[in-house]
Chains A and B, each alone.
Chain A
Amino acid sequence: MSELIQLDALGPKGPYRTANRRTVTDVSGVPVAELSLVPKLYVERSVAALHKARVMPPEERAAALERAGRAFANETINGLSVEDYQHAVSRVAGMPISVVRAATRSIERAAREAFRGTQRARPEGAVSDWHDPATEHGHAVWTRRGDVFAVLAPGNEPEVHALWLEVLALGYRVAVRPSQREPLTPHRLVTALREADFGADQVVFLPTDHAVADEIIRDADLAMVYGGDSVMRKYSQDARVLPQGPGRSKILLSGDDDWSSHVNTIVDSVSHYGGMACVNTTAVFVEGDPTPVAEAIAERLSAIPSLPPEDAEAVLPVQPLDKAEVMERFLLDHARGTTARLGGDGIVDDLGDGSAVLRPAVFQVDRPDAPQTAIELGFPCVWVAPWSRDDGVEPLKNSLVVTAITRDEALIDGLVNEPTISNVYLGDTPTYWMRPGIPHDSYLADFLMRSKAMIRDGRGSGREGDGDQAGDLYPDAVGPITR
Chain B
Amino acid sequence: MSNHADPVLDCPVDQTPDPRELIEAAMQWHFDPETGSPFWLERAKTLDFDPCQDVHSFADLRMFPNVVDDLRDVRVEDLIPKGYGPHPEVAGVFESGGTTGPPKRVIMLKDWMDRLMAFTMRDMDSRGDPRDVNWLSLGPSGPHLFGALASWESRLRGGVKFAVDLDPRWVKKCIRDGRIDEADRYAEHLIDQSAFLLETQDIGIMITTPPLLERIARRDRLVELINRKVRVLFWAGAHMDADTRHLLRTEVFPDVDLRGTYASTMVMGGTVERPGLTDGDPWVFDPFSPYISFAVVDPETGVEVAYGERGQVVMNHVSKNMLLPNNLERDLATRIKPLPGTMGDSVADVSPVPVFDNETVIEGVY
A53 contacts B by Cβ under 8 Å: no
Question: Chain A's nearest CB lies how many Å from the CB of B300?
Answer: 23
A39 with B365: CB separation less than 8 A: no
- Which residues of chain A in 242-288 are interfacial with respect to chain B, using CB atoms and an 8 Å cutoff? 244-247, 276-278, 280
* Pick from A42, A157, A245: contact of B243, CB under 8 Å: A42
Name the distance in Å between A448's Cβ and chain B's nearest Cβ. 21
| Residue interface bits B209-250, CB-to-A below 8 A is 1, else 0 | 000001001100000000000000000000001111011100
Complex contact A228–B243 (CB within 8 A): no
Taking a contact as CB atoms closer than 8 A, the residue among B217, B218, B241, B366 that contacts A227 in the complex is B366
Q: Is B363 an interface residue (CB 8 A)?
A: yes
Contact A228 B363 (CB under 8 A): yes
Which among A41, A226, A375, A378 has the greatest number of chain B C-beta atoms within 10 A?
A41
B251 engages A376 (CB within 8 Å):
no
Q: List B contacts of A20 (CB < 8 A).
A: 241-243
Which residues on the B side are within 8 Å of A40 (C-beta)?
Answer: 214, 244
Q: Are the CB atoms of B366 and A377 closer together than 8 Å?
A: no
Q: A20-B241, A210-B357 are in contact. Are A41 and B362 (CB under 8 A)?
A: no
Q: Which residues of chain B are within 8 angstroms of A375 by Cβ–Cβ distance?
A: 363
A155: chain B residues at CB < 8 Å are: 366
Chain A residue, CB-CB nearest to B218: A44
Complex contact A278–B243 (CB within 8 A) = no
**From residue 333 to 389 of chain A, which have CB atoms closer than 8 A to chain B?**
375-378
**A280 and chain B: residue at smallest CB distance:** B365
CB–CB B362/A377 < 8 A: yes
Q: How far is the CA of A145 from the CA of B241 in the complex (A)?
A: 35
> Does B1 touch A at the CB level, under 8 Å?
no
Do residues A18 and B243 form an inter-chain contact, with CB atoms below 8 A? Answer: yes
A228 to B366, Cβ gap below 8 A? yes
In the complex, chain A residues whose CB is within 8 Å of the CB of B247? 39, 41-42, 45
Q: Give chain A residues whose Cβ lies under 8 Å from the Cβ of B357.
A: 209-211
A378 to B362, CA, bound (A): 8
Do the beta carbons of B243 and A246 come within 8 Å of each other? no
Residues of B within 8 A of A45 (CB): 217, 247, 251-252
Instruction: For A121, list chain B residues within 8 Å (CB).
Output: none
Q: Within 8 Å of chain A (Cβ to Cβ): is B100?
A: no
In this assembly, does A410 line the interface, its C-beta being within 8 Å of a C-beta of chain B? no
- Given A20-B242, A20-B243, A39-B241, verify A377-B363 contact (CB < 8 Å): yes
Contacting pair B365 A376 (CB below 8 A): yes
CB contact between B217 and one of A18, A41, A226, A327 (< 8 Å): that residue = A41
How many A residues touch B, CB cutoff 8 Å?
A: 40
* A279 to B218 Cα, complex, angstroms: 41
Please give, as numbers and ranges, the residues of chain A lying within 8 Å of B241 by CB-CB distance: 19-20, 39
Which among B243, B252, B364 has the highest number of chain A CB atoms within 10 Å?
B364
> A411 to nearest B CB, angstroms?
28
A210 and chain B: residue at smallest CB distance: B357
With A19-B242, A41-B248 as known contacts, state yes or no: A326 contacts B362, CB within 8 Å. yes
Residue ID in chain A nearest B247 by CB atoms = A41
Question: What's the nearest-Cβ distance from chain A to residue B303, in Å?
Answer: 27
Asked if A376 contacts B243 (CB within 8 A), the reply is: no
Max chain B CB contacts within 10 Å: which of A18, A179, A227? A18
Q: Is the CB of B244 within 8 A of A228?
A: no
Question: For the complex, what is the distance from the CA of A394 to the CA of B362, rounded to whole Å?
Answer: 26
Instruction: Give Cα A326–Cα B241 distance, bound, in whole angstroms.
Output: 34
Residue in A41, A326, A376 whose CB lies within 8 Å of B244: A41
Pick from A18, A154, A327, A330: contact of B366, CB under 8 Å: A154
Within 8 A of B (CB), among A276-310: 276-278, 280
Tell me which of A48, A210, A376 contacts B364 (CB under 8 A).
A376
Q: Indicate if A38 sits at the interface (CB-CB under 8 A).
A: yes
* B360 to A, closest residue via Cβ: A326
One digit per residue, 1 when the CB lies within 8 angstroms of any chain B CB and 0 when it does not, for chain A 43-55 equals 0110010000000
17 contacts across the A-B interface (CB closer than 8 A):
A18-B243, A19-B241, A38-B243, A41-B247, A41-B248, A42-B247, A45-B217, A156-B365, A227-B364, A228-B361, A246-B363, A330-B362, A375-B363, A376-B365, A377-B362, A378-B364, A378-B365
Known: A39-B241, A48-B218, A277-B365. 5 other contacts (CB 8 A): A41-B217, A42-B247, A44-B214, A276-B365, A376-B363
Those 5 A-B pairs whose CB atoms lie nearest each other, nearest first: A154-B366, A228-B364, A19-B242, A39-B244, A18-B243
